[in-house]
Structure 1
Amino acid sequence: MSVTPAVELHGVHCVFGAAGREVRAVDGVDLAVAPGEFFTLLGPSGSGKTTVLRLIGGFTLPTAGRIAIGGQDMTRQPPYARPVNTVFQDYALFPHMSIADNVAYGLMVRGMPKAQRLQRAGEMLAQVQLAGVGDRRPAQLSGGQRQRVALARALINRPQLLLLDEPLGALDLKLREQMQSELKALQRQLGITFVFVTHDQHEALSMSDRIGVFHAGRLEQVGTPQAIYDRPATRFVAQFIGAANVLDGDSARRLTGHDSAMLRPERIRIGDAEGARASGRVAEVQYFGAFTRIKVAAAGIAGVPGVTLQADLPPGLGGVEPGATTHLHWDAAAVHALASAAA
């Protein structure tokens, strides 16, 4: 028995601007998100991910195509008629209201009695680890606390679908990493489908059940974080997700046996000259704490130019300095073949 997707997009296009100046923000997207899934829309600025989120939420209408939520056609429905709530990057809290009233706002609009809605708000605040702050105002809370309030307000009506538009973007790194873990745990606890927008690849990899990678209004690849990282479907995905050595032509054939290939820096190790797949001089050393990244100007052979390869070395591995000759090794299984650049 098939399960109805939480949200489906069929041939969705969204074009802005007048004829002759058209911008194809979304260009033929097909997508299905499963119930209870944490699905991330990932891509650089202008790739179409936020427009897709707005299309799902009803804030923007498609030029063509169909959008269904829980099996119901919602293509032309306004935001208030959709079983969806949205958490924005700026949280959009009412500064003149208490935290409890902010959280209970949706219940007030639906006509729930005050005592009942404040009780529900208190329960929701406790669920996001903010018990006891209901009487405060938003300005009295930290950024991370305001983010939790925005989540509580969006979740109190138990929507079928929660849309999150880069909600962690305004937080500092330490707090953002903490909130990534808390947000994923909350999603698992509630079982609500989350559609999360970010341009931060590390955020997407650490939180998502599946990721859709956007580029120029199109979906380049949909898959699990591991599949996206280890087996990118296109050159764009290979270069956008994490650090990568992407090789083409004669250099690729000499080093990998493929016309075009990707090799992740952490899959390269240094060793003796014997059996090395490439050798060269260290051009740059970057220390990142958990690893050290070196860039090696690998020597070519007759008729084949050299290339610069980056390798990530484990901490404590000394003796690698700029100008030193280094020998690089990797297993054949570490190489992922790509469609050639000319394809």
Structure 2
Amino acid sequence: MNLARAYRLARDDARERDALEGALAIDQRHFMALVRMAELLERMGEDAHAAERWSGVLAMSAMLDDRGPAIDALLDHARDYVMRQRTTFAAAIDSGLSAARAAVPAHRRRRFDACIDATMGRRQIYANQCAGLHFPFLPADEFFDRDHFPWLGEIEAQTDVIRGEFEALVAADAASFLPYVAMEPGTPANKWSPLNHSLEWGAFHLWKNGWRDEAACARCPQTVTALERLPLCDLPGRAPTVFFSVLKPGAHLPAHTGVSNVRAIIHLPLIVPPGCSFRVGGEMRDWKVGKAWAFDDTIEHEAWNRSDAMRAILIFDVWNPHIEPEERALLRQFFPLADASGNDLRVQVAD
């Protein structure tokens, strides 16, 4: 390090580099050697390599026990330099790929775009987090491609009918909607506590955990008829779950994950004032009335109603399209056996 300093004062970049590489060959985590190497590469105009070294400095800084003003200023420079380099790199990539991307429909390049955005540091890639049954080796896709669900257009075409039955239900008996979050007494305070037993997030179930509510279904016959034509997830005592979900003005569902990736969750928006949005993993979308989507709820997601009016959607679960029919049949046999042995393996819908 002393030799590197001497060469730096002599403005001998090549020999300073050799000396710093020698220091890092002894200890690749030597903080000041990393700093001096980043500074040297920046002076030499090797921007990509300098940004890589500054990134290493930022990573190492978390291990520092004592950070004075000089180190804080140095780290501010590192963050700014890395960000500027990423921005420059991203602009070059976006420009170079512009024509090629334009030739590919947006839904066909979703995975590629996510790959590039993650590489550019513009988004995070989220993995499945299952509180219950985790089915391995399935793609961890945030929003599923519509091509997996050729019947989506059929249920979308029933939006006006379904919304009409929902509105009649609310007008006749708003008290039939119950708080979605209803924690047992004694549950420790957690992120759901502000919504506990609150109609900020209300629900009216037609099916719940595989059990059909005949009285509820009788009040929404056309909705039920439309749903019965769909390939709902069917697992004894667990699925399907079908309900009208209501978010009051200002409500926020905190980031969370579901219990099992054997299902895909369908949202059919019925009433959507401006300012209502939904995030799954690294992708944010706004609900649009009559436009359904399917997503994997075991990937972190959250929802907002930033408007001054009610937001209402129909939620139901279908099979994850990547699970084969033979696997579905085996799962249908597995859960009754699990129940008989006293094990509670969950797959219930979470939102």
Q: Which has the higher strand share?
A: 1
Same fold, judged at TM 0.5 (above): no
TM-score normalized by the length of structure 1:
0.23
Structure ID, larger Rg: 2
Going by fraction, where is helix more abundant, 1 or 2?
Answer: 2
